[in-house]
Chain A
Amino acid sequence: MTKWNENSVLQVERLTMRFGGLTAISELSFNAARKEITALIGPNGAGKTTVFNCITGFYKPTEGMINLRHPEGREFLLERMDDFLITRHAKVARTFQNIRLFSGMTVLENLMVAQHNTLMRASGYTVTGILGSPSYKRAEDAAIEKAKSWLYKINLINRADDPAGDLPYGDQRRLEIARAMCTDPILLCLDEPAAGLNPRESEELNKLLLGIRRDNDVAILLIEHDMSVVMGISDHIVVLDYGQKIADGTPATVRNDPAVVRAYLGVDEDEGADEVIAAVVASAVAEKPAAQVQTMTAPVKKRATKKPIPKKTTRKSMGRT
């Protein structure tokens, strides 16, 4: 189903992630291609963020392979790399569901920290930098120029010297994307970039993401609940439910896929719920202990009558771990 073609940047192959007895993702395979926006969607708790955490090295997957290929042909097996090395060498950047800016540093400083590795090399790992070498000065100027160009793109050039924590919510979201882009990624992973944005801000975000796709040689992987964003800009959609892929294709095909409609929007209690439950139970029994099955069935019943509510990220939930 997932073929490794020459445009592919990311290839996820039979990815499985278990936490104790809970299987968050099972046997997931999909590709993301360069200069394309791949959306990863699914109801709450489907395992989307877990996929991100596996790709960016925050979790080590239980099974499976995550292969990243650079345009010039170098390949990286991400499941074997440390999280910071994935960003540094494999060039994968990410944003977080709850914004993680350096709120006490200015907007410009945030973008400078993102260029840490380039600047670190230019400063001779601090040795020549502390002696005031002109080559570091040049590198720093170049870094500031790059930060400025991103600030123009996200429309925050006038707030460059303000602390990042002072920005409105929508601006913080865009700044986090710009910060991720300052690491020169090959693959950009965005975890719910439209969460908490109003329709106008969502529209701005769409424009920004389309601009990034147009101007940069980067594959974008997107988790999103906001369907106006997902359907409006994605080239390719992967739908997850209970850690399993239930659909994969263009927005048009995914939208009309009966499995997606059933999982995502829920089904009427009297029409098809029993069928869905039976299917889930059957698949669960095959590999899980009985206790697990019971907890698996409960939310399905509930969801059959309820639409999934898009998650709202509030200031309060941004507490750090």
Chain B
Amino acid sequence: MASSENMPTRKPYDWSAIVKDVAGSGIITFLILTPIVAIKTTLDQGALTFSSRWPLVFLLSAIVVAGRLLFHLFVWNRVETSNPAKASTPTLAIFSQIGKYIGPIMLVIALALPFIAHMFPASDKRIIDLAIYVLTYIMLGWGLNIVVGLAGLLDLGYVAFYAVGAYAYALLSTIYLPEWFGAGVVPWAFYLTFPLAGLLAATWGVILGFPVLRLRGDYLAIVTLAFGEMIRLVLVNWFTFTNGPQGIQVPKATFFGLPFKDDPNGFAAFFGIPYDRIHFYIFLYYVILALALLTYVVTNRLRRLPIGRAWEALREDEIACRALGINTTSTKLTAFAIGAMFGGFAGSFFAARQGFVSPESFVYLESAIILAIVVLGGLGSQIGIVFSAIAIMGSFELFREMSFLRAILPEGTDPIQFRMLAVGLAMVLMMRFKPRGFVSKRDPTVYLKEKKAVSADLVSQGHG
């Protein structure tokens, strides 16, 4: 506030304008709220009765008036800083300083998280479980980022590959592997099916890729959307193969053949430590952390290889790519396949963690959330996706905790029902103020003297 001594920081109040504005907004609020809030209808034993809620209307109007007045008094009369660039430079510098270390810092926190959670014995399982949940979405976000962020192909059906991975694990570990290699293979199922699940998902990525190669933008988005729904509907309806909507019970992941069970053959007994359910959570946590890091490292490497540069060039200008001798068909297909492969890995991890898969987990909303994570994080930015996954998935969970909201919410509603509403609102605001996501700058893949981030205004978002 106290930016300079000799310059006035506030404009003088123009009282008549303020009164007019405040009164006007109060009246408008009142008029809008009268039909919406003032009259309440209740269906009582077949009869529709009206009751009025005028105090609530006045209360809400008063809030608007007071808010508007406060803005007039403290916010809208600030003198604009004459040089906005100059004012923002120090903060930018701080951010870029933090930016250099943010990756390693987060990695250290991630590695130490089970130990941090250990300090809160009451809720350690919940913390680790939430971290597993968030990391799964970070991994999915990074996988989708290859298709949407790097290659610029809008994919609304990414959850299909997640489903392929999960069902590949479920079906192989419960039916096919025991049939082929005998029941002894079941404890190892996770390790055997894992690569196969990725491979199958990649194959489906290519299968999806072929028909949509000629499509761009909206058309591509609609076909991928349909593809996601098709996979789900097949899972629901092909009863003999997938057990339909009832889902499949699958063996949970084991520690290299040692199940996390309280019996003499279990993990705890083998290492001679007392059994605790948290071992399973910690194991899963490190598995998903390793998987997510694998996704990160592979994607980062791919970006620096010719294939990754071709993806980004494809996003920038497809015709120029063809004029430079790049086979855009195979470039698009590899993007779909590699993105799908990571989705498949995440899917089979999901199945091994839940011990149960059903088509209900692979609805369109999941695709939308993963896409929202990628867009909110900033297309193409891997670190941004970490932030947005934590923000979105974390806020979903936060709503479960906010029991105090019950006090102000209407009776019979649960705060959890408002989570999509609140997240949606947050996203609208975010897109209003930072339209290209948390991290909108693009990191060049090669440089001569110094690495300069490319501003988002120049980076194309892809045309599908």
Contact = CB atoms under 8 A, between A and B. Distances in A.
Q: Do A and B share a complex?
A: yes
Interface of A: 56, 58, 83-88, 93-94, 96, 100-106, 108-109, 112-117, 119-120, 123, 126, 129-130, 132, 136, 140, 144, 148, 157, 160-163, 165-166, 179-180, 183, 320-321
Contacts of A88: 325, 327
A19 to B, nearest CB: 18
B306 A144 contact: no
Contacts of B325: 84-88, 116-117, 183
B220 to A, nearest CB: 16
- Residue from B312, B448, B450, B451 having most chain A Cβ neighbours under 10 A: B448
Contacts of A162: 452
A102 B305 contact: no
A144 B324 CA distance: 17
B307 interface: yes
Contacts, number: 143
Nearest to B319: A100
B10 to A, nearest CB: 39
B313 A102 contact: yes
Contacts of A179: 324
Given A84-B322, A93-B323, A96-B323, 7 more contacts: A101-B317, A101-B320, A108-B446, A109-B445, A109-B446, A113-B326, A119-B305
A135 to B, nearest CB: 13
Contacts of B317: 100-102, 320
Kindly state the interface size class of chain B when it binds its partner.
Answer: 35 or more
A104 B446 contact: no
Interface string B408-451: 00000000000000000000000000000000001011111111
A84 B452 CA distance: 31
B305 A129 contact: yes
Contacts of A93: 323-324
A115 B334 CA distance: 19
B448 A161 contact: yes
B455 A163 contact: yes
Contact of A104 (B320, B451, B459): B459
B447 A96 contact: no
Contact of B306 (A106, A116, A160): A116
B310 A105 contact: no
B309 interface: yes
B458 interface: yes
Nearest to B457: A165
B446 A144 contact: yes
Given A102-B316, A102-B317, A113-B309, A83 B322 contact: yes
B446 A112 contact: yes
Contacts of B455: 163
Contacts of A103: 316, 458-460
Contacts of B277: none
A100 B306 contact: no
Contacts of B454: 104-106, 163
Contact of B448 (A108, A126, A163): A108
A168 to B, nearest CB: 14
21 contacts: A83-B323, A84-B323, A84-B324, A86-B325, A87-B322, A88-B327, A100-B323, A102-B312, A103-B459, A104-B316, A104-B458, A104-B460, A105-B312, A106-B444, A108-B446, A109-B444, A113-B306, A113-B321, A132-B301, A166-B458, A320-B317
